[in-house]
């Protein structure tokens, strides 16, 4: 049921009838529910052990650092290896990691160092899995349905964003600190099973040739750098991630200052998830209604204003509303950006170019998380928010005046060339 060759299903077939896409989609929805349920607990757990936002920021940074180290070689390797096997092995490894977290909590031997080590290893496995997953979508979905597939993915993740934080904090508070990690372990098992039953190969057959890892990485970077729109999107995403990656920690610290309990913090993130669903539904409409450049520019300015609003929220519940509108804009941005670049990248370069894009897009995440934790500890939440909002305003200005973004062709025209 591949989307790249003549064996694909008819192009008018609904994605809901695409067996392999539904297996991929369904497995990742369950897995993401488990991951998000435990992810909301990590900062709470770190703060409970250390009482330090800096330590929580370091844990987040360590989870993002593997993208800086491994994303470029990972993309080249993903184009060589059996992508489905990589995804299965990564999920098995990540499942074992969270199982070890649950055991350590139950035995009361968990330390901040285990949290740090788990963040590094889990982040490394996520790099491989995530790049392979992005490419897998292009194999099981026809190219013209990529915007719908991206929208369906974002809609499902939006639902997960609503349920997971409240569910995770409920498990954490009602059943014990280990419960979210036990559930996450089960969710990885579901993902492994769903991947096993997918029939479509996640790569085309290629003749065996002599391989040069450095040359292959350079090919991916070169292709990306020669595409002005894709290049700027990657740089813009990197700059935005510097600030936006700190948003959960900012929201948690600010909510606690406003008197929120752990379960109420979960409610904040559940409200935020509503925005993700709305964004996934209107993302394709935005793509049709506005030019690509205008949509990207409006989103970046909108995120700037919303981030600044965190500093004036009168009650913790307003943090959820602000985050919901932010997630709506981020989801629309993802639908536009992902579908645009997936449609343009040649199949044989998918892994390398997507890894190069993610290398640039996630390059500043570890630094942003670490800097945010340090700033929260030393200058307080209000000044931290203002500084990060100024950073976002600078990026929005660059997007406004960038000629490649302003004159970007519609997706259909760009993909046809």
DSSP string, 201-261: -SS---------HHHHHHHHHHHHHT-HHHHHHHHHHHHHHHHHTTHHHHHHHHHHHTT--
The pLDDT value given to residue 190: 92
Q: How far apart are CA 175 and CA 38, in angstroms?
A: 13
Q: Is the dihedral of CA 140, 142, 143, 145 positive or negative?
A: negative
Read off the CATH number of the domain in which 189 is found.
1.20.1250.20
Residue 96 belongs to some domain of the structure = yes
The pLDDT value given to residue 99: 93
The pLDDT value given to residue 124: 86
Mutual orientation of helices 292-309 and 228-244 as an angle, nearest 10°?
Answer: 10
Q: Is 14 helix (H, G, I), strand (E, B) or coil?
A: coil
In tens digits, the chain (417 residues) has pLDDT values of: 333 344 444 444 677 778 888 888 888 888 888 888 887 777 778 877 887 777 877 777 777 777 777 777 777 777 777 888 888 999 999 999 999 989 998 998 888 898 888 888 988 888 888 888 877 887 887 777 777 777 777 777 767 767 777 788 788 877 888 888 899 999 999 999 999 998 888 776 655 555 667 777 778 788 888 888 888 888 898 888 888 877 777 888 888 888 877 667 777 777 877 887 788 778 777 877 888 888 889 999 999 999 888 888 888 888 888 888 988 898 888 888 887 787 777 777 777 787 778 778 877 777 787 788 788 888 888 888 889 889 999 999 998 898 888 877 665 555 555
Domain that holds residue 315: 15-200+212-416
The pLDDT value given to residue 130: 81
Residue 3 belongs to some domain of the structure = no
Residue 81 belongs to some domain of the structure = yes
**Residue 409 burial (10 A CB sphere; 0-12, 13-18, 19+):** middle
Residue 177 belongs to some domain of the structure = yes
Residue 5 belongs to some domain of the structure = no
Please state whether 51 falls in left (phi above 0), alpha (psi between -120 and 50) or beta.
Answer: left
The pLDDT value given to residue 88: 92
The pLDDT value given to residue 206: 58
The pLDDT value given to residue 303: 92
Residue 6 belongs to some domain of the structure = no
The pLDDT value given to residue 42: 77
The pLDDT value given to residue 391: 92
The pLDDT value given to residue 365: 77
Is the distance from CB of 58 to CB of 370 less than 8 angstroms?
yes
The pLDDT value given to residue 209: 54
Q: How far apart are CA 148 and CA 335, in angstroms?
A: 9
The pLDDT value given to residue 100: 93
Residue 4 belongs to some domain of the structure = no
Is the distance from CB of 122 to CB of 94 less than 8 angstroms?
yes
Name the domain count of the chain. 1
Residue 344 belongs to some domain of the structure = yes
């Amino acid at each position: 049921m591949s989307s790249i060759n003549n064996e694909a299903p008819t192009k008018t077939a609904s994605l809901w009838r695409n067996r392999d896409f539904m297996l991929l989609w369904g497995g990742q929805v369950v897995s993401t529910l488990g991951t998000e349920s435990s992810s909301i607990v990590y900062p709470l757990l770190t703060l409970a052990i250390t009482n330090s936002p800096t330590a929580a920021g370091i844990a987040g940074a360590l989870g993002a650092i593997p993208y800086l180290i491994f994303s470029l070689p990972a993309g080249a390797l993903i184009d060589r290896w059996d992508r489905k096997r990589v995804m299965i092995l990564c999920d098995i490894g990540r499942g074992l990691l969270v199982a070890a977290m649950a055991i350590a909590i139950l035995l009361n031997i968990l330390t901040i160092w285990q949290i740090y080590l788990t963040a590094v290893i889990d982040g490394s496995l996520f790099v491989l899995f995530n790049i392979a997953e992005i490419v897998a979508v292009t194999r099981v979905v026809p190219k013209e349905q990529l915007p719908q597939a991206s929208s369906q993915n974002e809609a499902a993740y939006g639902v997960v964003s609503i349920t997971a934080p409240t569910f995770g904090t409920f498990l954490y508070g009602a059943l014990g600190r280990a419960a979210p990690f036990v559930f996450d372990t089960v969710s990885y098992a579901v993902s492994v099973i769903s991947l096993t039953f997918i029939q479509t190969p996640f790569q085309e057959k290629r003749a065996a040739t002599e391989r040069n890892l450095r040359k292959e990485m350079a090919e991916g970077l070169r292709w990306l750098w020669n595409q002005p729109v894709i290049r700027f999107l990657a740089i813009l995403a990197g700059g935005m991630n510097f600030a936006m990656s700190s948003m959960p920690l900012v929201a948690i610290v600010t909510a606690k200052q406003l008197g929120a309990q752990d379960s109420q913090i979960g409610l904040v993130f559940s409200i935020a998830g509503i925005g993700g669903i709305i964004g996934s539904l209107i993302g394709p409409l935005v793509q049709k209604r506005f030019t690509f450049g205008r949509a990207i520019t409006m989103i970046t300015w909108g995120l700037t204003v919303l981030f600044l609003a965190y500093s004036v929220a009168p009650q913790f519940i307003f943090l959820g509303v602000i985050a919901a509108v932010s997630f709506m804009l981020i989801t629309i941005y993802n639908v536009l950006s992902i579908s645009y670049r997936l449609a343009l990248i040649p199949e044989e370069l998918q892994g390398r170019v997507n890894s190069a894009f993610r290398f640039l897009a996630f390059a500043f995440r570890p630094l942003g998380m670490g800097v945010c934790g340090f700033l929260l500890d030393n200058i307080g939440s209000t000044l931290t928010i203002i500084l990060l909002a100024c950073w976002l305003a600078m990026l929005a200005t660059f997007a406004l005046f960038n000629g490649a973004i302003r004159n970007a062709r519609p997706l259909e025209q760009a993909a046809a060339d």
